[in-house]
Structure 1
Amino acid sequence: MSKVAVVILNWNGSEMLRTFLPSVISYSAISGVDVYVADNASTDNSVSVLTKEFPSVKQIILDQNYGFADGYNKALAQVEAEYFVLLNSDVEVTEHWLEPMITYLDTHPEVAACQPKILSWRNKDSFEYAGACGGYLDRYGYPFCRGRIMDVVEKDNGQYDDILPVFWATGASLFIRSSDYWDAGGLDGRFFAHMEEIDLCWRLRSQDRGIVCIPQSVVYHVGGATLKKENPHKTFLNFRNNLLMLYKNLPQNELRHVMFVRGVLDYVAALSFLLKGGTANMTAVLQARKEYYALKQEFRASRENNMKKISLQVIPEQIKKSILVLYFLRGVKCFSQLNKFYQK
């Protein structure tokens, strides 16, 4: 068994492999670390590129495109390591990116997972939207980050360089104990893609397993390389999976209220898309709600199982406020303004 397995899930990303894999190979060349690429049945020349240009990288060839969630489940089932690193194919890593995370988990057995500081590959002095310096959640399931609230992304001036507990670590660069990954049930393959890492982290936090951001490790993420932000299919997956995540993980005393408010907010979002000319995205939101209700019964057993395992009733990294209200009505545009709203 190796100490660390860095596993990159690839689908039709041969050019991204050529661009970003060299940094991963170069800066992960330490004892006990293996680099894998798991190919999700690509139809481009990804496998031949790996074989010819990156012979040191271990390959896992999947027989079909299982999406992000189940693709990783099936790939990681073929890997033996103490720690897994789930790394997007559009991430450029930096020298010594692994060591701070290895050291932290080695010395903090109560912590299940961590992530590095995620900066934008295009604007390297700014945080990256999907992860920044660690993820948090509001009462109604809206994720935000230390370094990004809604669409406002902060510049990195070292203001978040302290190690802090977070609610979720981004799937773009998720460092996790293999034992915790499997004990929590892995990523939910039914999600296909989007929100699956937040769902996994919620299960871990509910069982009082820690998740932290280690800013001493730095990577640069392109972001949106598979589905662009405005893509209606991405809108559909984000809204549907967010509702399913809430249903799976909300304590019973919160469920009815939160889901009612989310219904109102989702219809407001659909109307907002329509007014901006985004008919396809409006339809995606409505279709997401329809499919949530169609799938709800299928997720009932998962919810019941999660409720039985809860040992941390109140998760400190979740604010009992609406980030939408704080952003649009209270003028909160950066994470440092949120301190007074956190549960203590």
Structure 2
Amino acid sequence: MDKIAVVILNWNGVKLLEQFLPSVIQFSEGATIYVADNDSKDNSVEFVQQNFPTIKIVKNTGNHGFAKGYNDALQHIDAEIYALVNSDIEVTENWLKPILETFENEKQTAIIQPKILDFKNKEYFEYAGAAGGFIDKYGFPFCRGRIFETLEKDNGQYNDNSELFWASGACFFIRKNVYHELGGFDESFFAHQEEIDLCWRALNEGHIIKYNYQSLVYHVGGATLQQGNPKKTYLNFRNSLLMLVKNLPKRGLFWVIFFRMVLDGIAGMRFLTQGKIGHTFAILKAHFSFYCVSLKYLGKRKEFQIQQYYMVKSIVFLYYIRKMTLFKEIFNSIQNIKN
């Protein structure tokens, strides 16, 4: 069994593979590198085979998205640690060493995220993960270094190795045994929020999720679905609701979901006033889809859910009403309340 497998999910991404595979090969000494291909119709597989013969190929039978794509591929990969890496990630020298050391020294740590900076603006954190994630009471995600559309400059303010609520799927390290014990990603999510759902389930089982700043990668972001794509809006809003149904503590479950749906409605109206009608319809579609499967998802709930899953009650209120745009401001407000 390999110590660590670096697994890159690909779908019609030959240009990304050409650009970013060299850094993975150069700086991943000791790891076995795989490209898990979601039945690409370009020449991705042939390109890898011809230009990077040391990389192993796992061929999936269709484009099953991020969740099922990884679930299918990882059935064929035997390693103690899975490093799930987006095809638009540039890694840096010694990026694996601090991750492996943490897993070796901290047996309860099951999932780790590195520092993720913006490939296009390398002094700033990147949207999808930054320095590690949290959620508010109503399931809205935010990160150290990124709250909604505000990205912070990396001034070393998150140079610590701290516990998280969720780690970014853009570069996601997980122990093989934990991944399979949890049943992998929820395949009905297709893409977006599936890593938060998996992390929540891991926390419910008593595992620890960490951020390690000593491991650094750069992420392009939006290479598959651009940030302003209505399909991305649909998946994010639908999957957030599904995630809440599965993982919220029983007490207050109905009211949290109800209020979240009200907030979604406000978001839909805001999109409408901005002329983004496609996004408004995407939220409506997300809610309709949620209604159709919500009873099924109640059946996916486990017996135990952690009670204190959120850092703040409403990140929407703090960001849009109180104008707190930096994580430090949010954190300081929490500390002031505690004191």
TM-score grouping bracket, smaller chain normalisation:
over 0.9
Question: Structure 1 residue 268: deviation in Å?
Answer: 0.6
- Output the aligned Cα RMSD: 1.2
Cα distance in 2 between the residues matched to 1:197 and 1:210: 14
- In structure 2, the residue matched to 1:253 is 251
- In structure 2, the residue matched to 1:336 is 328
Question: Structure 1 residue 207: deviation in Å?
Answer: 1.7
Overall identity of the aligned pairs, in %: 49
Q: Which amino acid aligns with 1:17?
A: L
Q: Which amino acid aligns with 1:125?
A: E
Deviations 1:259-283 (A, max 9, x none): 1111111111111111111111100
Question: Structure 1 residue 320: deviation in Å?
Answer: 3.8
Cα distance in 2 between the residues matched to 1:40 and 1:200: 21
Question: Structure 1 residue 295: deviation in Å?
Answer: 1.1
Question: Structure 1 residue 341: deviation in Å?
Answer: 2.2
- In structure 2, the residue matched to 1:150 is 148
Q: Which amino acid aligns with 1:84?
A: Y
- In structure 1, the residue matched to 2:281 is 283
CA contact (8 A) 1:9 1:68 kept: yes
- In structure 1, the residue matched to 2:26 is 26
Q: Which moved more, 1:225-234 or 1:320-329?
A: 320-329
Q: Which amino acid aligns with 2:22?
A: P
Q: Structure 2 length as normaliser, TM-score?
A: 0.97
Q: Which amino acid aligns with 1:223?
A: G
Cα distance in 2 between the residues matched to 1:15 and 1:301: 42
> Aligned match of 2:217 in 208, 216, 219?
219
- In structure 2, the residue matched to 1:324 is 316
Cα distance in 2 between the residues matched to 1:76 and 1:288: 29
Question: Structure 1 residue 331: deviation in Å?
Answer: 2.1
Question: Structure 1 residue 4: deviation in Å?
Answer: 0.2
SS of the residue corresponding to residue 236 of structure 1 reads: helix
CA contact (8 A) 1:321 1:341 kept: no
Q: Which moved more, 1:38-47 or 1:327-336?
A: 327-336
Matches within 5 A, 1:83-122: 83-122=81-120
Question: Structure 1 residue 177: deviation in Å?
Answer: 0.4
CA contact (8 A) 1:206 1:313 kept: no
- In structure 2, the residue matched to 1:183 is 181
SS of the residue corresponding to residue 265 of structure 1 reads: helix
> Aligned match of 1:123 in 121, 124, 148?
121
Question: Structure 1 residue 328: deviation in Å?
Answer: 1.4
- In structure 1, the residue matched to 2:3 is 3
Question: Structure 1 residue 297: deviation in Å?
Answer: 2.1
SS of the residue corresponding to residue 156 of structure 2 reads: coil
Alignment length, in residue pairs? 336
> Aligned match of 1:56 in 54, 76, 79?
54
Q: Which amino acid aligns with 2:86?
A: N
Cα distance in 2 between the residues matched to 1:265 and 1:92: 36
Structure 1 unmatched ranges of 5 or more? none
Matches within 5 A, 1:168-317: 168-303=166-301, 306=302, 308-310=303-305, 312-315=306-309
Cα distance in 2 between the residues matched to 1:7 and 1:66: 16
After TM superposition, the runs of 4+ consecutive aligned structure 1 residues lying more than 6 A away are: none
Q: Which amino acid aligns with 2:26?
A: S
> Aligned match of 1:39 in 28, 37, 42?
37
Deviations 1:126-149 (A, max 9, x none): 000010000110011000000001
Question: Structure 1 residue 254: deviation in Å?
Answer: 2.6
Deviations 1:149-191 (A, max 9, x none): 1110000010100111010000000011011111111100010
Cα distance in 2 between the residues matched to 1:124 and 1:314: 34
